[in-house]
Amino acid sequence: MHALIKLALPLAGVFACVLAQADTLESLPGGYRVSAASGISLQLEPPVLPDLSGYTAAAVQAKIQRKPEGRAVIKGMLHENSLDEFIGGEERLREWVVRQKRMPQAIFIEKGYMNSAALARQLPKSAFAETAPGIYLARLPIIVRQGATLHIDKDTKELRLSQEAGAFLVNDGRMFITDTKVTAWREKENTPAYWRDGKEFRPYFLAWGGTETYVVDSVISSFGYDASKAYGFSISQYSPGMAPKMKRARPTGWLLNSRFIDMWYGFYCYEADDVVIRGNSYENNIVYGIDPHDRSRRLIIAENEAFGTRKKHGIIVSREVNDSWIFNNKSYDNQLSGIVLDRSSVNNLVAYNETYKNYSDGITLYESSNNLLWQNRSMSNRRHGIRVRNSLGVSLYENILVANHLTGIYGHIKDLSGSERNFEEDPYETSVSMRIVGGQMIGNGSSPISVHSPSKLELYKLTILAPQKASGISFSGLLGERQGEIMDILLRQQQAVLIEPVGSLASKE
């Protein structure tokens, strides 16, 4: 959908009708002032994107230290800091007692480097075995200790983690997955552990604080279920209770040119820094495709595809995921939105993405201020092209919004007091302000733009074509009430429109 058909329509008559109804630039007490302003100050240079040239398979291979050889041992899972999240509570401990029919054990990789073949040499077949040439089955959890490296390499055709036996992967050191497949495996059916129910255990991957994780040219499938830190493929700092004790740096990693299929969450992170998610495909995952969370920083999410998410969004960053770049992604056919910025995620750049045929919005901002959306294409989404709720200082530049079922751009406030939101963790204001500059709004269903109760709204150089209504171009919300003035400033005066509250309304804002 890179090509865009240019539509030529007889809009002059529509604009003439609108201008004939124009009011003066005065506003009633308690209402809004609509005024003309110079658009020079609204001009922006294209944003500078991170250089991706260093994030390659060769760069990952150069990071691998293959000496000295490591050692694998089987030990009990109790009293292990890296496993406290999974066996610290009675209910989750019971999970592994039932599956292993004893006090639970795990495979621990000590200092040094190990790959799948080395694990098979050192461990009993009941724990880890090569079941066919290059195909390995793990029947115990595998934990990579601090100072150790596990490399699931190209000589491994597939590493299978037994669902029945309760296998999973925890990285507390360094993990490399290159040119291979890692699959949650249902032994009884001899198939991947395809999702059936969110509460059913499925193997998963988790990297803790202080770790590095690299996935390149690989396929990860059928991981995760609805339990803390077991979501699918996760990179997470230790929990607030453990982090002061562990004193580990924030985790990081690169995920490059890989496929993540049938995951509870395709990707999740918590308090991670500088994670690079580039060139991956997130296919038919359950809740989210990509979901960076809580206070993660400086993330690069670029050149990915996220599609077919069954419950929620293709790509979402939530709760203070700041100073990050989301660009050149495609997110489509997801149950809710294509891309979401949520819960005080600020100072992010969302640029050159394509979001289309999602069952809610193309791009959604919830309670997330001071973000820049630049030259995105949002097309044929079931609701809005771009939705902005309870967010201030949002800049929308040169976005192309085509054939969305409701509005091209929708801005509004909402009182969330009746929701389950924790207002100490997730504070917000019922205010919205936007700057909309350039771009095209073509054939959107109910209106090109609808903004309700803004504390400030700036419009400049808008191109609006192919209205769906027989009456022609028709704004809704506040813009609909002042459409004549707005069109006069944009079209005849060729200036920017500034809309601000006055009187009693201004004092409320």
**What are the structure tokens assigned to 386, written together?**
């771009």
Q: Which residues of 176-211 are buried (b: 16+ CB within 10 A; e: fewer)?
A: bbbbbbbbbbbeeeeebbebeeeeebbbbbbbbbbb
Q: Give tens-digit pLDDT for 193-228.
A: 999 999 999 999 999 999 999 999 999 999 999 999
Question: Lowest-pLDDT range, 1-5, 68-72, 84-88?
Answer: 1-5
Q: Give tens-digit pLDDT for 104-157.
A: 999 999 999 999 999 999 999 999 999 999 999 999 999 999 999 999 999 999
In 123-273, alpha helices (H): 243-246
Closest CA to 173 of 318, 104, 70: 70
Cα–Cα distance between 76 and 223 in angstroms, integer? Answer: 24
Task: Quote the DSSP letter at residue 490.
Answer: I
Q: To the nearest whole number, what is the mean pLDDT of the chain? A: 91
Q: Give tens-digit pLDDT for 169-191.
A: 999 999 999 999 999 999 999 99
Predicted confidence at residue 470, as pLDDT, reads: 59
Asked if residue 456 lies in contact with residue 481, where contact means CB atoms within 8 angstroms, the answer is no
Cα–Cα distance between 237 and 273 in angstroms, integer? Answer: 10
Work out the pLDDT band at 101, boundaries 50, 70, 90.
confident
Predicted confidence at residue 28, as pLDDT, reads: 39
Cα–Cα distance between 45 and 37 in angstroms, integer? Answer: 20
Predicted confidence at residue 506, as pLDDT, reads: 62
CATH number of 72-109+123-286: 2.160.20.10
Predicted confidence at residue 10, as pLDDT, reads: 30
Predicted confidence at residue 468, as pLDDT, reads: 66
Q: Could you tell me the CA-to-CA distances from 41 to 45, 362, 458 in Å, in that order?
A: 11, 28, 11
Domain residue extents for the chain: 72-109+123-286
Cα–Cα distance between 218 and 152 in angstroms, integer? Answer: 10
What is the H or E stretch that residue 261 is in? strand 259-261
**What are the structure tokens assigned to 9, written together?**
């329509």
Task: Quote the DSSP letter at residue 49.
Answer: P
Q: Give tens-digit pLDDT for 317-359.
A: 999 999 999 999 999 999 999 999 999 999 999 999 999 999 9
What three-state secondary structure class fits 293?
Answer: strand
Cα–Cα distance between 177 and 213 in angstroms, integer? Answer: 8
Q: Give tens-digit pLDDT for 244-265.
A: 889 999 999 999 999 999 999 9
Active site residues: 293
Which amino acid is present at 377? R
Predicted confidence at residue 3, as pLDDT, reads: 32
Predicted confidence at residue 504, as pLDDT, reads: 52
Q: Say which residue, 63 or 21, is predicted with more confidence.
A: 63
Strands 32-37, 496-501: pairing kind: antiparallel
Cα–Cα distance between 22 and 19 in angstroms, integer? Answer: 5
Cα–Cα distance between 482 and 485 in angstroms, integer? Answer: 6
Averaged pLDDT, 354-375? 98
Which amino acid is present at 203? P
Q: Could you tell me the CA-to-CA distances from 501 to 23, 274, 487 in Å, in that order?
A: 17, 40, 19
Q: Is residue 98 packed enough to be buried (19+ CB in 10 Å), middle (13-18) or exposed (0-12)?
A: exposed
Predicted confidence at residue 505, as pLDDT, reads: 59
Best-predicted range by mean pLDDT (408-422, 431-445, 468-482): 431-445
Cα–Cα distance between 213 and 220 in angstroms, integer? Answer: 14
Work out the pLDDT band at 473, boundaries 50, 70, 90.
confident
**How many residues are listed for the chain in this entry?**
509
Predicted confidence at residue 263, as pLDDT, reads: 98
Query: In the chain, what percentage of residues exceed pLDDT 70?
Result: 91
Asked if residue 138 lies in contact with residue 73, where contact means CB atoms within 8 angstroms, the answer is no
What is the H or E stretch that residue 175 is in? strand 174-178
Query: In the chain, what percentage of residues exceed pLDDT 90?
Result: 79
Is a pLDDT exceeding 90 seen at residue 279?
A: yes
Strands annotated E in 9-88:
32-37, 72-76
Write the DSSP string, 315-382.
EEEESS-BS-EEES-EEES-SS-SEEEESS--S-EEES-EEES-SS-SEEEES--S-EEES-EEES-S
Predicted confidence at residue 63, as pLDDT, reads: 98
Work out the pLDDT band at 292, boundaries 50, 70, 90.
very high
